[in-house]
Amino acid sequence: MRRLWVYSSVLRLGLSAALMYRANFLFTAGLTVLVGVAVQLFLWSAVYGWGRQQTFASIPFAQMALYIACATLSLGLTRSGRVERMVAEEIRTGELVRYLLKPVGHVPYMLSMALAERAVTFPVVLALALIAMWIALPELSFQLAIGQRLVWAVPFLLLGMTLNFLMGLGISYAAFWLDEVWTLHVVKDISLWFLSGQLVPLLLLPSGLRQLSEWLPFQYIAYVPAGILSGLIPMEAVFVLLGRALLWCVLLSSLVAMLWHVGLRRFGAYGG
């Protein structure tokens, strides 16, 4: 119970720090995402021939526009923040010893900080997604999307945040053995652009690459939440996707815990 109170305090402090610079928050959470959506819609409008072509791969333009908007918003919400990346620097400089002296676990502590970092973005992203759905879907379809799709999309957004956090933290823990892991973070981010479904819905990929992406955790970062919201993913598939996402959470959590315990045997901090 005491540990839970400590983590809730960390979460509150993280929220206060995230909201300290409100203008920077609004710019990052709102304007940056909107620009990304606008660029994507501009490119897909060209693919659809600026209105001359009503469908592409049997997907109407309105549905594709909704998917692209929701995928960009999902990636903006679930992507790794500064919390996971700064762990590698703390390992390299020896500042990690500060956490070893506290009566808390490092992974839960970092998770609380990461949740605080994303919590302030969640309402903005959710509001923008609702606006996109309202524009792209007419009356009855919009109400149907709210009732059946949004309820399922929110849990997958939370799972996507968790999976991306675990992947980012696992990469940062590689700093126990490597001097620099920034390149690994860049490789992961590039992989997310292609395999998360932000640029192109995964169902449009070649069959081999599509089958591979279906078994990787990247799809839960953008494709699955956006696919559910836009209707590209049928509601019958959500239970299978949910089971796979939970399995990836267990696997990545075990991997991160193993890297932490093995890495601590190599860690050393001297001086003061």
The set of residues, in sequence order, having a beta carbon less than 8 Å from that of 17 and lying 6+ positions away, is 116
Question: Distance between CA 26 and CA 32 in Å, rounded?
Answer: 9
Quick check: 141 pLDDT over 60? no
Task: Report whether 40 contacts 68 (CB < 8 A).
Answer: yes
Between these two residues, 8 and 161, which has the higher pLDDT value?
Answer: 161
pTM for this one? 0.84
Q: Name, of 25-39, 83-97, 173-187, the range with top average pLDDT.
A: 173-187
Return the sign of the alpha-carbon dihedral for residues 269, 259, 113, 33. Answer: positive
Domain boundaries, the chain: 8-264
The DSSP-derived string for 86-133 is: HHHHHHHHTTTHHHHTSSS-HHHHHHHHHHHHHHTTHHHHHHHHHHHH
DSSP 8-state secondary structure symbol assigned to residue 54: -
Between these two residues, 43 and 132, which has the higher pLDDT value?
Answer: 43
Q: What's the pLDDT band for 139 if we cut at 50, 70, 90?
A: very low
Question: Distance between CA 192 and CA 167 in Å, rounded?
Answer: 11
Average pLDDT, the chain: 80
The set of residues, in sequence order, having a beta carbon less than 8 Å from that of 121 and lying 6+ positions away, is 25, 28, 29, 76, 77
When mean pLDDT is compared across 11-25, 33-47, 164-178, 230-244, the lowest value belongs to 11-25
Q: What's the pLDDT band for 75 if we cut at 50, 70, 90?
A: confident
Q: Name, of 118-122, 126-130, 143-147, 255-259, the range with top average pLDDT.
A: 255-259
The pLDDT, as a whole number, for residue 147 is 66
How long a stretch of residues is the chain?
Answer: 272
Tokens, residue 45: 């409008």
Dihedral-angle region of residue 50 (phi above 0 means left; psi in -120 to 50 means alpha; beta otherwise): left
Burial class of residue 107 in the structure, from the number of CB atoms within 10 Å of its CB (0-12 exposed, 13-18 middle, 19+ buried)? middle
| pLDDT tens digits, 223-267 | 999 898 888 888 889 999 999 999 999 999 999 999 999 998 887
The pLDDT, as a whole number, for residue 217 is 92
